[in-house]
Structure 1
Amino acid sequence: MFDIVGARPHVWRIVIFVVGLLTLFLFFDPIGFASSSMDSIANRGPGNADTLTHIVMFQFKSDADPAAIDVACARMMSLKDHCVAQNSKFPYIKSLTGGKDNSNEKLQHGATHAFVVQFSNADDRNYYVERDPAHQAFKQEIEPLVEKTTVLDYTNGKFT
């Protein structure tokens, strides 16, 4: 057995260090060590449980000018700064990423470019889709270039 009373000082330092480290990990839970709930696991990743993700995929017309497509994509990316809340006049899009397809799976069904827009909640998404002047103008601008648009929205961690 281990003689606690007769232990050397360096052994005590090691024991105290290990206990302190374990306490920190359990208290601060930096890697989710103490989490056991599937809900908390599902909500890890970008955003929180209320984050609404809006995915847009464009199939541009085959005769669309590549320079015009580049301009359209740049305009789409700029919506993060140009879409502002009606009351506050501050941008409300949490994040916006996008790019040209580079998949080798051959499952694009014609889509050539995709964008992922994240909102804090459904109200922000609804304003963006239905009323935001910058977004409405963008949709009209790119209409002549687009053959097909596919949109999918979801709330982070909700599967039913």
Structure 2
Amino acid sequence: MLSGGFFSTTTQAQNSSQKLLVSKSNNPEQASQDKKLRHVVLFGFKEDATPADIRKVEEAFSALPGKIPQIKDYEWGINNSPEGLNDGLTHCFLVTFESEDDRAIYLPHPEHKAFVDVLKPHLEKAVVVDYWTNE
């Protein structure tokens, strides 16, 4: 699993101008029309989760953009990295918001909570990373 140490080492290896650029692009106070808030969600499923169980989770997550208007874009996929560094995480979901307010509506939204109820019985682990990016 990626830890703070990994990112600290990576950041230390960058020159100061790159650090400044990273700081600017990830600063929520500087969000503007050309930036989007990305919500990256990685899942690893329990060994006893069946393909049908996992498909239900995929379908439930994929239904959220049609139910929560604050979701501006959505995509997902299954890990196919040859590096073997996924630490049991098999599924990646990318949700895009235009603002932190939109994310704040999404997280406690009843449809999101219903999705979590579908997910929980099958989930072994999850990692969530949110960041601002330039489009």
TM-score, normalising length from structure 1?
A: 0.62
Q: Is the 8 A contact 2:42 2:126 kept in 1?
A: yes
Cα distance between partner residues in 2 of 1:126 and 1:104: 35
SS of the residue corresponding to residue 135 of structure 1 reads helix
How far the C-alpha of 1:132 sits from its partner, in A, is 0.6
How far the C-alpha of 1:149 sits from its partner, in A, is 0.8
Q: Deviations over 1:103-129 (max 9, x none)?
A: 111110110100000001011112111
Q: Flag the structure with more relative contact order, 1 or 2, with Cα contacts below 8 A and sequence separation at least 6.
A: 2
TM-score, normalising length from structure 2?
A: 0.73
Could you tell me which residue of structure 2 aligns to residue 106 of structure 1? 84
Q: Deviations over 1:3-37 (max 9, x none)?
A: xxxxxxxxxxxxxxxxxxxxxxxxxxxxxxxxxxx
Cα distance between partner residues in 1 of 2:46 and 2:34: 36
Larger mean Cα displacement after TM superposition, 51-60 or 101-110: 101-110
Q: Choose from 42, 49, 56 the match for 1:71.
A: 56
How do 1:10-159 and structure 2 match up within 5 A?
Answer: 48-49=34-35, 51-83=36-68, 91-129=69-107, 131-157=108-134
Amino acid at match of 1:152: V
Alignment length (residue pairs): 106
Cα distance between partner residues in 2 of 1:106 and 1:58: 15
Q: Is the 8 A contact 2:72 2:98 kept in 1?
A: yes
Q: Bigger radius of gyration, 1 or 2?
A: 1
How far the C-alpha of 1:93 sits from its partner, in A, is 0.6
SS of the residue corresponding to residue 107 of structure 1 reads coil
Cα distance between partner residues in 2 of 1:82 and 1:119: 14
Unpaired stretches in structure 1, ≥5 consecutive residues: 1-37, 84-90
Structure ranking higher in helix proportion: 2
Q: Is the 8 A contact 2:60 2:118 kept in 1?
A: no
Structure ranking higher in strand proportion: 2
Identity of aligned residues (%): 38
Unpaired stretches in structure 2, ≥5 consecutive residues: 1-20, 26-32
CA RMSD of aligned residues (A): 2.0
